[in-house]
């Protein structure tokens, strides 16, 4: 099964976006707790109008007590245009069986937020807000954003 997942991931990588990130940044929660008041902000610049993909990267520690995490993403540009998206990131298929890549006690999950979308030149900001009922989410190591330019390979 793992071989199929790896092969599928490789095929997707070849037909979607280039592997060269134009922006990659992460916020690390040193105390392993994501407070509701902590809203990571990521600012990046697009220098040429092309199609881009924006991914959410999420790292947690074994022991996270929920099967999902709800995150509000707000993308805005320097002209005041805004796009808001509520993300329901599945963390566990069932109790103890994590999504993503498990490396010891760390679990890495990646989710595409915006796929193959044209972005104009300019500065963009993404703000992430955890939307769970708990004010503090334990066992969260980091959250990040990766922006990639898409290619049109056939």
Q: Where are the domains of the chain?
A: 2-150
Give CA 85 to chain center in angstroms. 12
- Asked if pLDDT for residue 16 goes beyond 70, the answer is no
pLDDT score for 95: 75
How sure is the predictor about 18, in pLDDT bands with cuts at 50, 70 and 90?
Answer: low
- Find all residues with CB under 8 Å of 70, minimum gap 6, and list them: 86, 87, 88, 89, 130, 131, 132
How sure is the predictor about 13, in pLDDT bands with cuts at 50, 70 and 90?
Answer: very low
Query: pTM for the full model?
Result: 0.83
How sure is the predictor about 152, in pLDDT bands with cuts at 50, 70 and 90?
Answer: low
- Find all residues with CB under 8 Å of 149, minimum gap 6, and list them: 17, 18, 20, 22, 50, 51, 52
Count how many residues are written for the chain. 154
Rounded Cα gap, residues 65 and 95, in angstroms = 9
100-140: pLDDT as tens digits: 999 999 999 999 999 999 999 999 999 999 999 999 999 99
Nearest in space to 14 (alpha carbons), one of 135, 107, 150, 127: 150
CA separation, residue 90 to residues 39, 55, 64, 93, 108 (Å): 20, 15, 12, 7, 12
Superfamily for 2-150?
Answer: Galactose-binding domain-like (2.60.120.260)
pLDDT score for 15: 46
Rounded Cα gap, residues 63 and 14, in angstroms = 34
pLDDT score for 14: 41
56-100: pLDDT as tens digits: 999 999 999 999 999 999 999 999 999 999 999 999 987 778 999
Q: Looking at the DSSP assignment, which residues form a beta bridge with residue 102? A: 107
- Asked if pLDDT for residue 42 goes beyond 50, the answer is yes
């Amino acid at each position: 099964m793992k071989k199929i997942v790896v092969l599928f991931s490789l095929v997707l990588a070849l037909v979607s976006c280039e592997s060269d990130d134009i922006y990659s940044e992460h916020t690390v929660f040193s105390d392993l707790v994501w407070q509701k008041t902590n809203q990571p902000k990521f600012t990046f610049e697009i220098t040429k109008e092309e199609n881009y993909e924006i991914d959410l990267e999420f790292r947690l520690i074994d022991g996270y007590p929920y099967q999902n995490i709800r995150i509000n993403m707000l993308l805005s540009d320097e002209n005041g245009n805004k796009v808001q998206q509520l993300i329901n990131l599945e963390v566990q298929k069932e109790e103890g069986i994590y999504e993503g890549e498990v490396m010891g006690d760390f679990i890495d999950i990646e989710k595409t937020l915006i796929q193959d979308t044209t972005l104009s030149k300019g500065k963009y900001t993404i703000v992430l807000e955890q939307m769970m009922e708990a004010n503090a989410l334990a066992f969260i190591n980091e959250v990040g954003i990766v922006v990639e330019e898409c290619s049109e390979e056939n």
